[in-house]
Amino acid sequence: MLPSSVHLIPTTVRLVQSWIYNSSRSFMDLKSLLSSLSDFASLSFAESWDNVGLLVEPSPPHPVNTLFLTNDLTEEVMEEALQKKADLILSYHPPIFQPMKHITWKTWRERLVIRALENRVGIYSPHTAYDAAPQGVNNWLAKGLGACTSRPIHPSKAPSYPTQGTHRVEFNVNHTQDLDKVMSAVKGIGDGDVSVTSFSVRIDDEEHVRVSVNCTQKALMKVVAFLSQNRQLYQKTEILSLEKPLLLHTGMGRLCTLDEPVSLATMIERIKRYLKLSHIRLALGVGKTLESSIKVVALCAGSGRSILQGVEADLYLTEGIPLPGAETTVF
């Protein structure tokens, strides 16, 4: 968490709104601040194509007294951040997306990196990690629809596996085999990359012991190689690829079911009021009117094209262009 003395000062640069977090009492180490940001929204929530996290890091140690927030880091915004003596800039959209082969004064993105390093200013971008977070952008948008239940359209996966390893190997040991010897041999594989459990099962009226081995990708072939040396063990071996569990309240997009249906006109007014907008763009589906009933809304921060495609809803809320064949889209 940020120190209690942190206060918020709104400022504007043309059409780009930014904020300054400033603590007059104490500094916060960059690593500690990054840990706090991760507690709010783990970078593991971000889409695989995104470029999130600490993009520019001054040489350590780097205490942070002033945190500068912006939606997009342009050269004008960088100038304001330097005037405010920012130590770290949190830019929602990543100013660095494609790999850079050189850092020169040629392009504005390269100049941002140069200015940041010259002035010992870090740059951090959360982007889709903040979209997917349980209290992130998509959830915030859903609150403007009225009373509803919502779920992620594309749930995020947990950052780690629930058990040790990425694979599970299971096989049976009958009474004619030395269980202790088999267990000892399997445990000795992989130098700590395997965990072994066992339980009794009855197969064809005969008692067996089912051995379950969780192992890493690296240790998997060693386990299989060991089992293949014993035909009785190997012939009924099962290999399972483990999946990271889904996070039910975290992910891209939201599919929202209203407690009570409302007209499209009513929903438009709700969205405008919530977002404090005087107008929004609307693409009406064929045969739809402002009196059409809205019960299910699919939304996504950003264009949302890949997220919303194929999702059935009465209304789509997105920043992008209308989806082909969509009923009604607000953007």
Question: Does the annotation flag 93 for ligand binding?
Answer: yes
Contacts of 173 (CB under 8 A, 6+ apart): 179, 182, 198, 208, 209, 210, 211, 233
- Whether the predicted pLDDT of 33 surpasses 80: yes
Dihedral sign computed on CA atoms, order 35, 40, 44, 47 = negative
Per DSSP bridges, beta strands 122-125 and 88-91 are: parallel
CATH of the domain spanning 7-127: 3.40.1390.30
Q: Which range has highest mean pLDDT (208-212, 231-235, 253-257)? A: 253-257
Going through the chain in order, the beta strands assigned E by DSSP cover 7-13, 16-22, 28-29, 53-56, 63-64, 66-70, 88-91, 122-125, 148-157, 167-174, 194-203, 206-215, 238-241, 246-263, 282-283, 293-299, 315-317, 329-330
Q: Where are the domains of the chain?
A: 7-127, 134-157+249-330, 167-241
Nearest CA-CA partner of 136 in 315, 300, 270: 300
The answer to whether domain 7-127 and domain 134-157+249-330 are alike in fold is yes
CATH of the domain spanning 167-241: 3.30.70.260
- 54-91 pLDDT tens trace: 999 999 999 999 999 999 999 999 999 999 999 999 99
- Kindly state the average pLDDT of the residues 248-264: 96
- Whether the predicted pLDDT of 303 surpasses 60: yes
| Architecture of the domain whose range is 134-157+249-330 | 3-Layer(aba) Sandwich (3.40)
pTM of the model: 0.76
Question: Does the annotation flag 7 for ligand binding?
Answer: no
Neighbours of 79 (CB within 10 A): 12
The pLDDT value given to residue 235: 81
Contacts of 96 (CB under 8 A, 6+ apart): 51, 55, 56, 109, 112, 113, 123, 125
- In angstroms, how far is the first alpha carbon of the chain from the final one? 34
